[in-house]
Amino acid sequence: MEGSASSLIVAAAGAHGDPVAPVVLALALILLAAKLGGELAIRLRQPSVLGELVFGVLLGNLTLVGFDGFEAIKHDDTINMLAGLGVLILLFEVGLESTVAQMLRVGVSSLVVATLGVVAPFLLGWSVSSWLLPEASIYLHVFIGATLCATSVGITARVLKDLGSSDSDEARVILGAAVIDDVMGLVILSAVTGLIVAADRGQAFTAGTILGPLVKAIVFLAGSLTLGVAVTPRLFSAASRMRAPGVLLATGLAFCFALSWLANAIELAPIVGAFAAGLILEQVHYRSFVDRGEHPLEALIHPIASFLVPIFFVLMGMRTDLRAFAQPGVPALAVALTLAAILGKQACSLGVIGKGVDRLTVGIGMIPRGEVGLIFANIGLGLSVGGEHIVDAASFSAIVAMVIVTTMVTPPALTWSLGRVPKRT
Amino acid sequence: MEGSASSLIVAAAGAHGDPVAPVVLALALILLAAKLGGELAIRLRQPSVLGELVFGVLLGNLTLVGFDGFEAIKHDDTINMLAGLGVLILLFEVGLESTVAQMLRVGVSSLVVATLGVVAPFLLGWSVSSWLLPEASIYLHVFIGATLCATSVGITARVLKDLGSSDSDEARVILGAAVIDDVMGLVILSAVTGLIVAADRGQAFTAGTILGPLVKAIVFLAGSLTLGVAVTPRLFSAASRMRAPGVLLATGLAFCFALSWLANAIELAPIVGAFAAGLILEQVHYRSFVDRGEHPLEALIHPIASFLVPIFFVLMGMRTDLRAFAQPGVPALAVALTLAAILGKQACSLGVIGKGVDRLTVGIGMIPRGEVGLIFANIGLGLSVGGEHIVDAASFSAIVAMVIVTTMVTPPALTWSLGRVPKRT
């Protein structure tokens, strides 16, 4: 409802002046950038996600040459949400390509890989921080160590998909380990944050701060996988008795969204829930739909993913501020942290159990820190003890730089690494 | 970036506390409601959109029995935007089923139908208002007349799709007329609003207030159709030389979004642009994609529509406040306005030229006022002359009721009407 006469003239002149207009313009731009970037990457024999990231970086840093027409897109709520839905759909799609049984077969490998991939970067990050920033508090060292822990599974999942390798054993070890180290990273972050907040308030720090999130996470994963496997066939069998069009797609999406929400409610990343939903769902559950001539769920999800997933990667590129690299004191710390992040995750390759899984590929697949690293850095920026911020602007920029570089090096590195190994089909 | 210690504890406890979580929960709920409602409608031999609307009304009015857990969904920005994207995709999809040549063949019919369908409801609405509200100003009568003009094409497009009739001549006449009367409704609204604002300021009212929007609209439609037809084959031929996956879908969506934005920029409804984009695009433009084994654009758009379109209709149902019907003075005005709205559009059937097009179906297809009527009513609520509001709360509620009823009666009426006519295939 309009208030003043002047706003009415505007409303009357553009009676339909629809809030969807700037969003669709941004979407058209993002889709074109994604495809042009993807095309360039493919011609250079790289996965298209790298091109989407790079073209995103280009669009997002046009401010450096004086053009700021795209700045609003970076902070548009709808675009941000569509990107968030995109990464959920991506993880759901990747999860659909594996079954729970296949994941359990590599479960021990994933667990060991995840543990090594959390411990090594944590210790390396701590060491680098105390070496380069000797005057900083121990809290900063611990915090920087924590930001290096969690793998951002989105990039790796997408590269594996681009290269047609998402149903390989390497993919399962990496994705399983990424889910587990997301949980571990969360536990460490909760513990470190609890420690810092307790120190700031002069309160005692209890074991519950660490154990609470851990127990919840284990209960969620074990519970959703076992319960899901028991309940899903009945859910889809009931749905298959419906005659309305689009029931399979709607049921699949609703299942993915419900588990994403549940993961968040239990204080895990929503993508963990989306991945779990994809794992639980198997072709056999919705065979009656396919038998009567409907497309399988993967084929229905694919166009939605083609639309939404590039939004996430272009936006991630757009939000990369290249000026962060140029701040004083940042380059040295950024280089050291990036090396710690990359080398730390190579410890993962030691954890791969059994033959036929390429260890180097697993180590490389665990490198990207992406959005999880940025979430951690963001939280660290707001933490303080006795009024003094734990993470200062320079350390924050170095963490951002580490996230950018680990995200950018993974696609070409993984392409190279998977190219070395003959495909087992 | 977090500010206070307390928000940090929250952030630390749910380190991933993702803003996407409430959105995906709402989406899961909406998708399930859409499918359950659609299923019920289909079993009652009605198009599924009616079930989506009714289940939306149920969810949105649970406050009447004391449950307000779904209230936040009605005003969630992301859900609103997804619904807006859904209606764009729907009109794009419907536009894809016709070509510009087919539309031009029924063009004269559409123009006459649209003109009759604007003039008759305008005069009827004016008469009803001055009969039932004799003490109100002439501005209210004119305004109420204006709110009855524009057909909301979303409902009809969806019913025609549900019934497999979107490529019939009736569908083309209705959709063409709906696009034209959207333009005419806009011109009338702009004129009426300009008149009221001028009266409020004691200023003269110039012909430019009426002619400006009209000229722009004609230039847009004629320009986008002729230019589009010339440029599109080259655009898609260039795109078909790209090897990145998903180029056809991305180009098609970007084209739809760009024209939607352009329509809005020229002060038309974005759905007019989306429909024009669908009309312009023809299978022959992207045959080279299909020849190399990709799915045709319709098949790629369909799952995206299955996901997004029901959001629009469930949300429209949810926003229907049943209490509006019960306000004093509202029922009589609501009934009279609804009859004026329905009967007024039956004048459309007189405008159908040529044989083989069912006139009653065209008249019924033009009935729904939907979101365009609500936008008009909303603008009217904010208009005043000399500090006195033109449209009062009771008239507003009556307009809302008219919108609800015309939206709800169309699906069953159109189903019945199309069932009478043997399909010409």
Contact yes or no for B250 and A34 at CB 8 A: yes
Segment of A52-61, A106-115, A382-391, B194-203 carrying the highest mean pLDDT:
A52-61
Q: Residue B263: closest CA among chain A residues belongs to which residue?
A: A21
Amino acid symbol at B43: R
ipTM > 0.90 for the complex = no
Q: Are B28 and B59 in contact (CB under 8 A)?
A: no
Q: Are A274 and B44 in contact (CB under 8 A)?
A: no
CB contacts of A379 in chain B (<8 Å) are 2, 8, 11-12, 15
Q: What is the mean pLDDT of chain B?
A: 83
pLDDT, tens digit, for every residue of B15-45? 446 788 999 999 999 999 999 999 998 898 7
Q: Of A153, A157, A169, A171, nearest to A369 (Cα)? A: A153
Measure A353 CA to nearest chain B CA, in Å.
30
In this complex, the residue of A24, A42, A246 whose CB is nearest that of residue B243 is A42
Q: What is the pLDDT of residue B4?
A: 33
> Residue A16 pLDDT > 60, yes or no?
no
> Residue B356 pLDDT > 90, yes or no?
no
> Residue A305 pLDDT > 90, yes or no?
yes
Q: Of A331, A344, A325, A329, nearest to A125 (Cα)? A: A344
Q: Say yes or no: A66 contacts chain B, CB-CB below 8 A.
A: no
Q: What is the pLDDT of residue B205?
A: 62
Which alpha helices (H) appear in A14-152, and where do they start and end? 20-43, 48-60, 71-74, 77-96, 100-105, 107-132, 138-147
Mean pLDDT of A2-10: 32
Contact yes or no for B34 and A77 at CB 8 A: no
Say how far apart CA A168 and CA A171 lie, in whole Å.
5
Instruction: Please report the residues numbered 281 through 340 in chain A whose beta carbons come closer than 8 angstroms to any beta carbon of chain B.
Output: 300-304, 306-307, 310
Q: How many CB atoms lie within 10 A of CB A45?
A: 10
CB contacts of B270 in chain A (<8 Å) are 16, 18, 20-21, 24
> Residue B10 pLDDT > 60, yes or no?
no
Q: What is the pLDDT of residue A396?
A: 81
Provide the pLDDT confidence category of residue A241 given band limits of 50, 70 and 90: confident
CA A62 to chain centre: 25
Mean pLDDT of B407-416: 88
Provide the pLDDT confidence category of residue A424 given band limits of 50, 70 and 90: low
Q: What is the pLDDT of residue A205?
A: 62
Q: Residue A253: closest CA among chain B residues belongs to which residue?
A: B28
Q: Say yes or no: A222 contacts chain B, CB-CB below 8 A.
A: no
State the best of A1, A2, A30, A31 to mutate against chain B, taking most chain B CBs within 10 Å. Answer: A31
Give the CA distances from residue B151 to residues A117, A158, A336, B185, B364, in Å, rounded to whole numbers and listed in that order: 60, 44, 64, 9, 11
pLDDT, tens digit, for every residue of A25-35? 999 999 999 99
Which residue shows structure tokens 């630390």? B12
Q: Are B57 and B400 in contact (CB under 8 A)?
A: no
> Residue A425 pLDDT > 60, yes or no?
no
Contact yes or no for B244 and A48 at CB 8 A: yes
State the best of B4, B16, B372 to mutate against chain A, taking most chain A CBs within 10 Å. Answer: B16
Of A90-94, A374-378, B98-102, B316-320, give the lowest mean pLDDT range: A374-378
Q: How many CB atoms lie within 10 A of CB A292?
A: 8
> Residue A72 pLDDT > 80, yes or no?
yes
Instruction: Please report the residues numbered 337 through 356 in chain B whose beta carbons come closer than 8 angstroms to any beta carbon of chain A.
Output: none
> DSSP states of B351-363 as a string?
G--SSSS-HHHHH
Considering chain A, what percentage of its residues have pLDDT values greater than 90?
A: 24
Provide the pLDDT confidence category of residue B180 given band limits of 50, 70 and 90: confident
User: Residue B389 is inside which H or E element, if any?
Assistant: strand B388-389
Q: What is the pLDDT of residue B2?
A: 30
Q: What is the mean pLDDT of chain A?
A: 83
How many Cα atoms are found within 13 Å in the side-chain-facing hemisphere of B296?
Answer: 10
Mean pLDDT of A313-342: 86
Contact yes or no for A20 and B375 at CB 8 A: no
Contact yes or no for B15 and A85 at CB 8 A: no
Say how far apart CA B205 and CA B202 lie, in whole Å.
9
In this complex, the residue of B84, B189, B310 whose CB is nearest that of residue A15 is B189
CA B220 to chain centre: 19
Which alpha helices (H) appear in B14-76, and where do they start and end? 20-43, 48-60, 71-74
Q: What is the pLDDT of residue B371?
A: 64
Amino acid symbol at A3: G
pLDDT, tens digit, for every residue of A208-234? 666 666 677 778 778 888 888 888 888
Say how far apart CA A259 and CA B403 lie, in whole Å.
37
pLDDT, tens digit, for every residue of B101-140? 777 777 888 888 889 999 999 999 999 999 998 888 888 8
Instruction: Please report the residues numbered 363 through 422 in chain B whose beta carbons come closer than 8 angstroms to any beta carbon of chain A.
Output: 372, 375-376, 378-379, 381-384
Q: Of B290, B308, B312, nearest to B299 (Cα)? A: B290
Which alpha helices (H) appear in B202-329, and where do they start and end? 208-239, 247-265, 270-280, 287-291, 297-318
CB contacts of A257 in chain B (<8 Å) are 24-25, 27-28, 31
CB pairs under 8 A between A and B: 287
Q: Residue B197: closest CA among chain A residues belongs to which residue?
A: A5
CA B110 to chain centre: 18
Phi (first) and psi of residue A410, to 5 degrees: -65, -50
Handedness of CA A132, A137, A138, A141 (dihedral sign): negative
Q: Say yes or no: B269 contacts chain A, CB-CB below 8 A.
A: yes
Q: Are B1 and A382 in contact (CB under 8 A)?
A: yes
